Structure 1
Amino acid sequence: MNAPLETLASPWRHEEDIRKSRFLAQAAPVGSAAEALAFVEAVGDATATHNCWAYRIGDAYRFNDDGEPGGTAGRPMLQAIDGQGCDRVVVVVTRWYGGIKLGAGGLARAYGGTAAECLRLAPRVAIVAMGRLFVHCDFADIALFTARIREMDATIEQETFVADGAELTVLAPLDRLDAIAARLVDLSRGRIQPRRID
């Protein structure tokens, strides 16, 4: 079985000097391509020689060599993300040229290695697959159910009051959904029939 993928707990920075060039890797957790590109825009340094980047969000990924020879920066950085078992992550490696050419292999090692070390050192958290339940309950049961739902490591994502009670959208780890649904059926003595929402 594969280890669960991880994302960063918070943004992280790592700096290396490689043959007189300065490389600064900055990484962050992201939930969308727009977030990733906004991070690239925010941390890129206009005074630097290159601001190369890569991100992976599930099956979606992109990378950019920002003027370095093709395949020497962005792709090795994406490989570093994958190699570190990360997902929902963006990495920007900014280079200030120091006067010594590194060659294609040297560039790939410098960009990929700086990105990998940044991700290796960063605090990380496991990505937990989440799912949702739709629950309709009577007014009299709302307080009890909301308390029990929170005790089961779930959250109420949405609560809508209707004529005969409330409609709740419950967010919980996917592997806990069936247990939570069964517990709510038990609590209501079968009056409530939660259903999964895709």
Structure 2
Amino acid sequence: MDWLNGEAFTAFGQHIKWSDMIGNTIGLIALALGWRRSIWTWPAQFLSGVILFAAFATSHLTGSAGKQIVVMAVAAWGYWQWTRGRQQAQDGSIAVRFATWRERAYLFGGAVLGTAAVGGLFTLYPSLSWDPWPDAYIFVGTLVAMIAQARGMVEFWFAWLLVDLVGVPLNFANGFAFSGFVYVLYGALVLWGLRDWWLRSRTSGRPALEGAAA
């Protein structure tokens, strides 16, 4: 695995690592497969998570590494859900909606409390993370976004945008320039996805996850 954390090339004064480049390239492919509603989006996301976990873990970015564990877990769950859902919907689609105010309060409260708990843990044990609070924010923010996505909530896209606002500078600061560039692309794609889910939420009268959970 040592070669994965070796330098692939230098661009604009930034050293690009193999793990950073390969993991995020596979992540972009997974995103494209997701737009096509291909079930292969989930194995691609899982593989991307494995590679990026190895990269972040060796750089003591515990929150970013933990984020990849969440991605891998959700990818495995998503593959299972879409496999079952194909019996009801060939494209594996789900109904999307805006969260209720109570659900938003739970998500926001969980994000605040979770970030405080994880950030406090990273602060007590500096060996876990070089950037404890941004790292904790990314880890908890990703978890909140995944929960909202699993529930079919449009707010999941807003959560991802907030994660990107911290993820971009953190990755550049810690030598993961390719991740930083990809996060910028993700930000643009999230805006597009937000628009799509927003429009779908106005036309869908079904409960969230009706097709996937059946």
TM-score range (shorter-chain normalised) is under 0.3
- Would you tell me which structure has more helix in proportion to its own residues? 2
- Would you tell me which structure has more strand in proportion to its own residues? 1
TM-score by length of 1: 0.25
Structure with the greater alpha carbon radius of gyration: 1
